Amino acid sequence: MNGEAILEIKDLKKYFTIGKQGILSRKPRIVKALDGITFSLNKGKTFGLVGESGCGKSTAGRSILRLHKITDGEIIFQGQNIDAFTGMEKMQYCRDVQAVFQDPYASLNPRMRVGEIIEEPMLVHGISRSRGRRERVAELLEVVGLSADHISRFPHEFSGGQRQRIGIARALSLNPKLVILDEPVSALDVSIRAQILNLLMDLQQEFGLTYLFISHDLSVVEHISDVVSVMYLGKILEMATCEMIFNHPLHPYTQALLSAIPVPDPEFSRQAIILEGDVADLLGLEKGCLFRNRCFNATDACSEREPELVEVEPNHQVACLKIT
C-alpha cells in the first residue's frame, strides 16, 4: 500500500504466561495474544484493526503504546525501533503517539479537574508556562466541541460522549502524529457515537493525524478506515483497502463476520453465514489454520499446513489455503 509509512510492525509476537508455576498452582499456560503480525500505517490515514474479543487487536495497540514488553518482532516508528529507545527518545515517542480508550468513565481520573486532565501531558513534558498551558487547554476544549468554561469541572459532571471529547483533547495536547483509538465509540450511545466519529474525522483532516482504529464493530470501521485488517486469534487473516474488504471479502471468516452484522433495514434480507462454535474452542489446533474448526470451507489440507498472508491482488492480502 503506497504512501509514507509512519509506523511499521514486523512479525510482532506477544505471549502471555497464565498461572505461575508454584507448589499449588497448575502448570503455566502460554497464550499467544499476538502470533506474528505485520502491517504498516501510512501517514495521515486510518488503519482499521477489526476482530472479535480475544483476537489480540487491543494487545497490538498496547504493544505499540509500550504498555507491555513484546515477546518478539519489531515496532518501527519513523524508521527507529522503539525497543532501542533511550530515555529522551522515549519521552519524544510519548509526545508523538497518544491514545484514546474505550471506557469514558475509567479513562479520566475522577479526582482531577478537566483542566488538570488535559494539561497533565504538557506539564509532564515541560511545555510552556502555566498561563500558556491554560490557554492551550481552553483552545483544545473548543477544538473538541466543549466550552472553555468546563475547565474547572470534574469528569463526573459530564456525559459519556463529553468525557470521550475530554479524552480526545488530552490526547491532542502534545500534538501527536499517531493516535491509537482503542474502541473509542463502543461504550457510547448510538446518537453520540456519530458525533464522536465525525469529530475524529474532522480532527484528522485538520491536524493531519494518523489513526490506528481498533474496534469490533465493522460498520464503524468501514466508516472511518482507509485500510482494514481482520484479526483472528492473534493473526491477521485478511488485509486490504476498506472498499475491497467490505465489497469483495475473500477470507471465509471476513465473509461470515460481514454477513453476521444485523442491517438496520427490515426489508434487507440476506442469509447470514452462521459460524459454528466459539473462538474459545481451541482444542487440537496446534497445527494448520486456526479458523478451520469454524470454517464452512475447510478441507483436510487446512489442518496440515498453516496459511500465510499472501497478496492475491494489488493491496489485498489473504491468509487462506483455498484462495491462494
Site for another protein in 43-102 (CB under 8 A): 52-53, 62, 65-67, 90-91, 94-95, 97-99, 101-102
Distance from C-alpha of 184 to C-alpha of 168, rounded to nearest angstrom:
9
When asked if residue 282 is in the footprint of another protein (CB under 8 A), the reply is no
User: Which is nearest to 214 in space by CA: 205, 206, 200?
Assistant: 200
When asked if residue 219 is in the footprint of another protein (CB under 8 A), the reply is yes
CB of 280 to another protein, least distance (A): 4
Q: Which cell numbers hold the place of 183? A: 474502541
DSSP code string of 253-289 = HHHHHHHHSPPS-TT------PPPS-TT--TT-SSS-
According to CB under 8 A, which one of 17, 28, 106, 301 is a site residue for another protein?
Answer: 106
CB of 191 to another protein, least distance (A): 4
User: 240 pairs with which residues across the strands?
Assistant: 228, 316
CB of 272 to another protein, least distance (A): 5
CB of 54 to another protein, least distance (A): 9
**The one segment of 41-49, 119-127, 233-241, 310-318 that binds another protein by CB under 8 A:** 119-127
Whichever of 281 and 306 has its CB closer to another protein, that residue is: 281
Q: 260 in helix, strand or coil?
A: helix
Residue showing cell 489455503: 321
**The one segment of 1-9, 23-31, 69-77, 188-196 that binds another protein by CB under 8 A:** 188-196
CA–CA–CA angle 69, 96, 131 (5° rounding): 125
When asked if residue 243 is in the footprint of another protein (CB under 8 A), the reply is yes
CB of 100 to another protein, least distance (A): 9
Q: In what order do the strands lie in the sheet with 29-42?
A: 29-42, 5-18, 72-77, 80-81
x/- mask, another protein, residues 135-174, rule CB under 8 A, reads: -------------------x----xxxx----x--x---x
According to CB under 8 A, which one of 110, 149, 286, 300 is a site residue for another protein?
Answer: 110
CB of 308 to another protein, least distance (A): 24
Please state at what angle helix 114-124 crosses helix 160-172, rounded to 10 degrees: 20
Whichever of 161 and 234 has its CB closer to another protein, that residue is: 161
CB of 77 to another protein, least distance (A): 14
- Is the CB of residue 57 less than 8 Å from the CB of residue 51? yes
Distance from C-alpha of 15 to C-alpha of 72, rounded to nearest angstrom:
9
**The one segment of 29-37, 70-78, 108-116, 310-318 that binds another protein by CB under 8 A:** 108-116
Distance from C-alpha of 196 to C-alpha of 201, rounded to nearest angstrom:
9
According to CB under 8 A, which one of 26, 128, 261, 304 is a site residue for another protein?
Answer: 261
Provide CB contacts within 8 A for 284, sequence distance 6+. none
When asked if residue 109 is in the footprint of another protein (CB under 8 A), the reply is yes
When asked if residue 238 is in the footprint of another protein (CB under 8 A), the reply is no
According to CB under 8 A, which one of 7, 34, 49, 257 is a site residue for another protein?
Answer: 257
Spell out a b/e string for 158-178, using b for 16 or more CB atoms within 10 Å of the CB, else e: bebbbbbbbbbbbbbbbebbb
CB of 216 to another protein, least distance (A): 7
Maximum CA pair distance of the chain? 68
Residue showing cell 499467544: 32
Site for another protein in 8-47 (CB under 8 A): none
